[in-house]
């Protein structure tokens, strides 16, 4: 056997050894790859929220909570748990979720109600409070004003052939500042309402800016969940919501 043949055989053996080790390494890593299941979504996205189950303070008032578990729950397989939740005064706010291991429900925050349920089933409990959207803070955080408003001074003026789509809290088509004939389509992504409605007034206020006109006696502030605008000219979103 000449030197060239020996050299080729040596290279072939080295290649086979190298390829085999890489295949074994790849196969080992594939086997170690975590399998994505519904349960992986259960609590990791909620870890930054306070766990009510770790707080022994009870105010004896009914609150709405999110209950999270380490495995999937449903009304059939966990019927005993949901029956106990009901017997403790709990009320389900909809069915258990498909892709998050838990459910939302209202129950009295007392040692004999919420406390008893926590002691028996050990869920992670997060208070599902009602939050109020503040668009001025959102726009400051994502810096939309320089990106949009500055381009034309007062936003996009549009024309009679333009259509504007709003993704907001809804719209009150009976409001004095809204012309119903200008609403050409409506979709409720929250409760599936078939008729226009507004959940906190903000969508109506934004739509009224786009439609123009309005009552100059209204003020650019809000009381509770109702928003009031000062219109009567061309105003930017910044002028109305950045006092």
pLDDT by residue (tens digit) across 123-180? 999 888 766 555 555 555 555 555 555 555 555 555 667 677 888 888 888 887 777 7
Of 27-36, 67-76, 181-190, 192-201, the range with the lowest mean pLDDT is: 27-36
At 48 the pLDDT is 52
| Alpha-carbon distances of 110 from 63, 90, 115, rounded to whole Å | 10, 12, 6
- The whole-chain average pLDDT of the chain stands at 68
pLDDT band for 15, please (50, 70, 90 cuts).
very low
Where is pLDDT greater, at 38 or 194? 194
pLDDT at 36 over 50: no
135 in Cβ contact with 168 (< 8 Å): no
pLDDT at 96 over 80: yes
At 215 the pLDDT is 44
pLDDT band for 108, please (50, 70, 90 cuts).
very high
Give percent above pLDDT 70 in the chain.
51
109 in Cβ contact with 60 (< 8 Å): yes
At 205 the pLDDT is 77
Instruction: Give the separation between CA 43 and CA 109, rounded to whole angstroms.
Output: 22
How many CB atoms are closer than 10 A to CB 116?
17
Question: According to the per-residue pLDDT averaged within each range, which of 11-15, 81-85, 199-203 is highest?
Answer: 81-85
Size of the chain in residues: 243
Q: Give the mean pLDDT of 75-79.
A: 93
pTM of the model: 0.42
Where is pLDDT greater, at 209 or 67? 67
At 186 the pLDDT is 81
pLDDT at 65 over 60: yes
pLDDT at 82 over 90: yes
Where is pLDDT greater, at 204 or 34? 204
At 104 the pLDDT is 92
Query: 231-234 — which CB contacts under 8 Å span 24+ positions?
Result: 231/177, 234/154, 234/157
């Amino acid at each position: 056997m000449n030197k060239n043949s020996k050299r080729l055989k040596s290279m072939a053996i080295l290649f086979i050894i190298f390829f085999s080790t890489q295949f074994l390494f790849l196969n080992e890593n594939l086997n170690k790859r975590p399998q994505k299941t519904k349960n992986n979504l259960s609590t990791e996205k909620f870890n930054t929220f306070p766990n009510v189950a770790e707080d022994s303070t009870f105010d004896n008032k009914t609150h709405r909570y999110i209950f999270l578990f380490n495995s999937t729950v449903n009304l059939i397989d966990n019927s005993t748990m949901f029956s106990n939740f009901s017997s403790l005064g709990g009320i389900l706010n909809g069915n258990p979720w498909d892709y998050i291991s838990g459910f939302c429900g209202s129950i009295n925050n007392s040692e004999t109600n919420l406390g008893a349920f926590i002691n028996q089933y050990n869920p992670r409990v997060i208070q599902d409070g009602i939050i109020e959207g503040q668009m001025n803070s959102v726009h400051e955080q994502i810096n939309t004003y320089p990106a949009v408003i500055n381009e034309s001074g007062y936003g996009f003026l549009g024309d009679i052939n333009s259509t504007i789509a709003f993704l907001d809290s809804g719209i009150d088509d009976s409001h004095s500042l809204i012309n119903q004939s200008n609403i050409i389509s409506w979709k409720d992504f929250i409760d599936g309402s078939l008729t226009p409605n507004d959940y906190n007034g903000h969508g109506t206020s934004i739509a009224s800016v786009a439609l123009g006109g309005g009552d100059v006696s209204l003020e650019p502030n809000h009381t509770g969940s109702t928003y009031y605008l000062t219109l009567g000219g061309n105003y930017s979103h910044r002028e109305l919501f950045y006092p």
